[in-house]
Amino acid sequence: MIKNNGNNAFKENKKGNGDKLYVLKLYITGSSPCSVKALRNILKICKENFPNKYSLEVIDLYKNPHLAKNDDIIASPTLLKKFPLPEQKYVGDMTDTDSILIGFGITK
């Protein structure tokens, strides 16, 4: 399900039963090639590795630059894993799937 939260960001919520829910925020800058690639890659990672067990909020810093301060975002694209703890940040186009999955505590 994709929702516009009124702040020019959208959320995709997928929830499983009984399993931990990964709560993620992806900060992007418009439709730049790197931002588009990061969004495509993180959606693929989520759908392949923990389908129906994630909540992804995408925040466009061109439209909402003030939101970067809340999470200490200094580069874009940045993925912020809010939950499960510990919080972690990943910067770039999200092509390093192995590093992201290791950070999420997922091993193949």
Angstrom distance (rounded) from CA 53 to CA 17: 8
Burial 54-73 (b: 16+ CB within 10 A, else e): bbbbbbbbeeeeebbeeeeb
Q: Is residue 9 part of a domain?
A: yes
Q: What is the pTM of this model?
A: 0.81
Q: Is residue 29 part of a domain?
A: yes
Among candidate residues 106, 78, 74, 107, the one with its CA nearest the CA of residue 91 = 78
Residues 3-40: pLDDT tens digits? 333 344 444 445 444 568 999 999 999 999 999 999 99
Angstrom distance (rounded) from CA 71 to CA 20: 22
Structural domain harbouring 29: 2-103
DSSP code for 20? P
pLDDT at 19: 65
Residues 53-103: pLDDT tens digits? 999 999 999 999 999 998 999 999 999 999 998 999 999 999 999 999 998
The CATH number linked to 87 is 3.40.30.10
| Total number of domains constituting the chain | 1
Q: How many CB atoms lie within 10 A of CB 79?
A: 23
